[in-house]
């Protein structure tokens, strides 16, 4: 089983997001970076699948040279190989990202491509599906449980308080959500190994998209007038007045 | 034609309401959903093989109708189906749109990034234009229209059933769904332990509500991940959200800002969630929540 997992480098935003003066990007001067949360779970899932079924793991990202940090973080968790699709660090649209990923993995023998359901920053909800179409593979999204037996992948998605269950023949593309697992911490040995590992570098070209960003904006604070209640009994009265009891 | 995808998720009716700003809307209805009053024309999908959700088949139904603009709810299914349409037609897709207006060939729109803690203003060109509507930004509202319902049978082949729901596990009887609950009682780090949630459960039961938690709480294993309210969990829109021991990190706020009213129980008067609240009780939730429960019990019986 060869599993390839795609991750994205995103800033670790604090309590409030600050933009650059031209409102084209988040001001990341004072921020650290991380792997987008759904994708960190995708890394963990790749490791668990290969621990159970044997095989190889590869992590891939599209981003600036600095995204090597995120590839190394995934390798420190246990991923075997890494590929950087190197950009100048500007935001790539979903079409370009998917095309570059599809081109990079087309010649690799992958049984499973894992994505996060949506990147934490851009939240486009589509790169995995576009890659699946480009490669002619079946895909499913929003997955919070994976099991594999006899060339079939069973995927579980939350729906209406219960679960809907998909069965896909491998090779396949699956995008996962946080909650599918709890990602492990990297070991010291893992970190040392990751620092020394070779990273394959490819320089793809972006495509135009029919969706063009004009500017970013921080939504206005919706502060309300808070009435301070003095006790649980007063709170109970509020619940009664709202007709909830 | 402006087409709006509708399924049994209540967010679909919000998407329909949103779509009416573009003029006449055709609802494309999967399953048994009443859209009476919302639009003048609804096409109900009828196909012998479509007894369960199949994303490629739903996408094919949309493609076959050759719409200029497709609106879908910002749900797992809405995003998945639109992404298939986008990939098949080489079209762009704008996810979680909160505002949109047509200007000639261009759709000027505002969409959510970072789960809603950042907004992006963008221009969408080309055809078809595909967009999903962010959950809980508009209230579902019928427009008093007389709705004609037609059956529509798309031309589907085996390739459209490559991926489909094979089976389903229904929720346990009596479970209140977090995303549609009228009342949600949420807990954060301040709850202190898995057992600390017992009293929150009790309060939720009394109010016929659901229990939710912050990301810290689900990462610590105090609650299952399905209970998470926030950017990487559920977007809730209850009449009342009771936030107990929740500080109000931005990732949590974007999950609960659809709540009509918020009651906060927190030790810290300066916790960010207090600024979002309608009412707050400042103090130890382990004393205050039991006091609420006791008060409701004593007067209720």
In a domain, B172, yes or no: no
- With vertex at residue B87, the alpha carbon angle to CA A86 and CA A70, rounded to the nearest 5 degrees, is 30
Same domain, B211 and B114: no
Share of chain B above pLDDT 90, in %: 96
| Cβ(A39)–Cβ(A115) below 8 Å | yes
Tell whether B166 is covered by a domain.
no
Which of A94, A182, A231 is closest, CB to CB, to B281?
A: A231
Per-residue pLDDT averaged across B123-151, rounded?
A: 96
Q: Among all residues of chain A, which has the CA nearest to that of B176?
A: A161
Whether B193 and B139 map to the same domain: the answer is no
Name which of A7, A10, A28 is nearest A18 in CA terms: A28
Q: Is the pLDDT of residue B166 over 70?
A: yes
Question: Which residue among B113, B206, B265 places its CB closest to the CB of A122?
Answer: B113
Residue B167 lies in a domain: no
Q: CB-CB: which of B9, B120, B263 is closest to A238?
A: B263
Residue B169 in domain? no
- Asked whether A168 and B55 are in contact (CB, 8 A), the reply is no
Residues B52, B127, single domain; the answer is yes
Please state, rounded to an integer, the average pLDDT across all residues of chain B.
Answer: 96
CB contact under 8 A, B92 and A95: yes
The pLDDT, as a whole number, for residue B30 is 96
- Shared domain check, B238 and B105: no
Looking at beta carbons, which residues of chain A come within 8 Å of B225?
A: 144, 178-179
CB pairs under 8 A between A and B: 254
Residue B168, domain member (yes or no): no
**CB within 8 Å of B275: residues ≥ 6 apart:** A221, A223, A224, A226, B248
Chain B residues within an 8 Å CB radius of A232: 281, 287-292, 294-295
**HSE-up (13 A, CA, CB side) for residue A8:** 26
Within 13 A of B227's CA, how many CA atoms are on the CB side?
A: 26
Note the helical H segments in A158-208: 188-196
Nearest-by-Cβ selection for B281 from A38, A168, A235: A235
The beta-carbon neighbor of B83 closest among A129, A209, A235 is: A129
Domain ranges, residue B285: 178-300
Contact A17 B250 (CB under 8 A): yes
pLDDT bin (cut points 50, 70, 90) of residue B174 is confident
Domain count, chain B: 2
Our CA-based measurement puts residue B71 at a distance from the nearest CA of chain A, in whole angstroms, of 15
B146 and B24 within one domain: yes
Residues of chain A under the 70 pLDDT cut: 14-15
Whether B95 sits inside 8 A of A16 (CB atoms) is no
Residues of B in contact with A134 (CB under 8 A): 87
Instruction: Show the tokens assigned to B27.
Output: 């609802």
Residues in chain B: 301
d(CA A122, CA A119): 6
* B156/B191 same-domain check: no
Cα–Cα nearest to B235, from B217, B254, B249, B260 = B254
The residue count of chain A comes to 245
Of B123, B233, B279, the CB nearest to A235: B279
For residue range B257-283, list pLDDT tens digits in order: 999 999 999 999 999 999 999 999 999
Q: Look at the block and give the residue holding tokens 């990462």.
A: B219
Q: In terms of CATH, what superfamily is A2-241? A: HUPs (3.40.50.620)
Answer yes or no: do B268 and B233 share one domain.
yes
Angle between helix A94-105 and helix A127-135 axes, rounded to 10 deg:
40
Taking CB atoms and an 8 Å limit, are B232 and A37 in contact across chains?
Answer: yes
**How close A151 gets to chain B, by Cα (Å)?**
15
Answer yes or no: is pLDDT of B73 > 80.
yes
Distance from CA of B157 to the nearest CA of A (A): 15
User: Do B11 and B117 sit in the same domain of this protein?
Assistant: yes
- Tell me which residue has tokens 């929720």: B171
How do residues B100-130 score in pLDDT, each as one tens digit?
A: 999 999 999 999 999 999 999 999 999 999 9
**In terms of CA atoms, which chain A residue is nearest residue B295?**
A233
Task: Sort out which chain B residues have CB atoms less than 8 A from A177's CB and list them.
Answer: 232
Residues B202-218: tens digit of each pLDDT? 999 999 999 999 999 99
State whether B114 and A213 contact (CB < 8 Å). Answer: no
Separation CA A89–CA A93 (nearest Å)? 12
Q: A226 and B169 in contact by Cβ < 8 A?
A: no
Mean pLDDT for the stretch of residues B155-180? 93
Cβ of A232 within 8 Å of Cβ of B249? The answer is no
Q: Looking at residue A15, what is its pLDDT?
A: 67
Say yes or no: B151 and B227 in one domain. no
Interface contact B261-A178, CB threshold 8 A? no
Q: Crossing angle, helix A188-196 and helix A68-77, to 10 degrees?
A: 130
Query: Does the beta-carbon distance from A245 to B168 stay under 8 Å?
Result: no
Q: Average pLDDT for residues B67-84, to the nearest whole number?
A: 98
Tell me the chain B residues in contact with residue A166 when contact means C-beta distances shorter than 8 Å: 163-166
Name which of B262, B253, B209, B215 is nearest B235 in CA terms.
B253
How far does the CA of residue A28 sit from the closest CA of chain B (Å)?
14
Nearest CA in chain A to B278: A226
Is B226's CB within 8 Å of A179's CB? yes
Structure tokens at A137: 């593979």
CB atoms within 10 A of CB A88: 10
Nearest CA in chain A to B118: A218
Tokens 């309060």 sit at which residue? B203
Averaged over B57-62, what is the pLDDT? 98
* Angle, CA B19 vertex, CA B13 and CA B23 arms, to 5°: 130
Residues in B touching A179 (Cβ below 8 Å): 218, 224-226, 228, 232-233
Distance of CA A99 to the CA centre of its chain: 17
On whether both B195 and B96 belong to a single domain, the answer is no
Check whether B301 has a pLDDT greater than 50: no
Q: Which residue has the higher pLDDT, B173 or A198?
A: A198
* Residue-level pLDDT at B299: 67
Are B115 and A226 within 8 A, CB to CB? Answer: no
Are B109 and B100 in contact by the 8 Å Cβ rule? The answer is yes
CB contact under 8 A, B115 and A233: no
One DSSP character per residue, B219-282 reads HTTSS-GGGBBSTTSB----SEEEEES----HHHHHHHTT-SEEEEEES-TTSHHHHT-SEEEE
Give the chain A residue whose CA is nearest to the CA of B167. Answer: A165
CA distance B39 to B4: 10
Question: Is residue B300 predicted with pLDDT exceeding 60?
Answer: no
Percent of chain B with pLDDT over 70: 99
Residues B203 and B81 in one domain: no
Rounded to a whole number of angstroms, the distance from the CA of A117 to the nearest CA of chain B is 9
On whether both B26 and B153 belong to a single domain, the answer is yes
């Amino acid at each position: 089983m060869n599993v390839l997992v795609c991750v994205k480098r995103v800033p670790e935003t604090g309590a409030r997001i600050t933009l650059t003066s031209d409102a084209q990007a988040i001001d990341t001067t004072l921020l650290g970076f991380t792997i987008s949360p759904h994708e960190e779970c995708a890394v963990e899932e790749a490791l668990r699948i290969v621990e159970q079924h044997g095989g190889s793991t590869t992590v891939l990202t599209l981003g600036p040279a600095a995204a090597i940090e995120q590839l190394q973080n995934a390798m420190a968790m246990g991923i075997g190989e890494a590929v950087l699709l190197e950009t100048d660090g500007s935001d790539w649209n979903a079409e370009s990202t998917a095309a570059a990923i599809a081109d990079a993995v087309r010649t690799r023998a992958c049984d499973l491509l894992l994505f996060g359901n949506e990147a934490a920053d851009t939240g486009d909800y589509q790169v995995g599906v576009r890659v699946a179409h480009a490669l002619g593979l079946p895909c499913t999204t929003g997955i919070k449980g994976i099991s594999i037996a006899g060339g079939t992948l069973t995927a579980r998605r939350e729906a209406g308080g219960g679960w809907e269950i998909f069965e896909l023949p491998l090779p396949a593309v699956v995008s996962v959500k946080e909650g599918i697992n709890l990602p492990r911490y990297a070991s010291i040995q893992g970190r040392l190994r990751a620092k020394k590992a070779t990273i394959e570098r490819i320089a793809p070209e972006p495509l135009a998209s029919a969706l063009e960003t004009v500017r970013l904006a921080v939504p206005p604070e919706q502060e309300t007038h808070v009435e301070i209640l003095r006790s649980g009994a007063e709170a109970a009265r509020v619940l009664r007045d709202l007709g909830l009891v | 034609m402006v087409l709006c995808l509708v399924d049994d998720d209540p967010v679909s009716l919000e998407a329909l309401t949103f779509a009416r700003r573009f003029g006449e809307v055709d609802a494309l209805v999967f399953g048994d959903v009443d859209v009476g009053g919302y639009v003048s024309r609804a096409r109900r999908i009828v196909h012998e093989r479509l007894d369960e959700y199949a994303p490629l088949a739903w996408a094919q139904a949309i493609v076959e109708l050759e719409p200029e603009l497709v609106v879908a709810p910002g749900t797992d299914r809405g995003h998945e189906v639109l992404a298939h349409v986008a990939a098949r037609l080489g079209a762009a897709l704008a996810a979680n749109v909160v505002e949109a207006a047509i200007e000639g060939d261009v759709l000027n729109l505002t969409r959510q990034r970072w789960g809603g803690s950042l907004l992006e203003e963008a221009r969408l060109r080309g055809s078809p234009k595909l967009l999903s509507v962010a959950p809980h930004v508009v209230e579902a509202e019928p427009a008093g229209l007389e709705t004609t319902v037609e059956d529509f049978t798309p031309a589907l082949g085996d390739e459209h059933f490559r991926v489909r729901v094979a089976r389903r596990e229904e929720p346990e009887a009596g479970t209140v769904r977090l995303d549609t609950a009228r009342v949600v009682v949420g807990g954060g780090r301040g709850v202190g332990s898995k057992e600390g949630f017992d009293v929150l459960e009790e309060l939720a039961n009394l109010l016929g509500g659901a229990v939710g938690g912050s990301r810290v709480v689900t990462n610590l294993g105090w609650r299952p991940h399905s209970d998470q309210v926030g950017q990487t969990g559920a977007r809730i829109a209850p009449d009342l959200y009771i936030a107990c021991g929740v500080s109000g990190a931005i990732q949590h706020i974007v999950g609960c800002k659809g709540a009509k009213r918020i009651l906060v129980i927190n030790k810290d008067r300066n916790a960010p969630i207090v600024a979002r609240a309608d009412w707050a009780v400042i103090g130890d939730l382990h004393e205050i929540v039991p006091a609420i429960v006791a008060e409701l019990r004593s007067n209720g019986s």
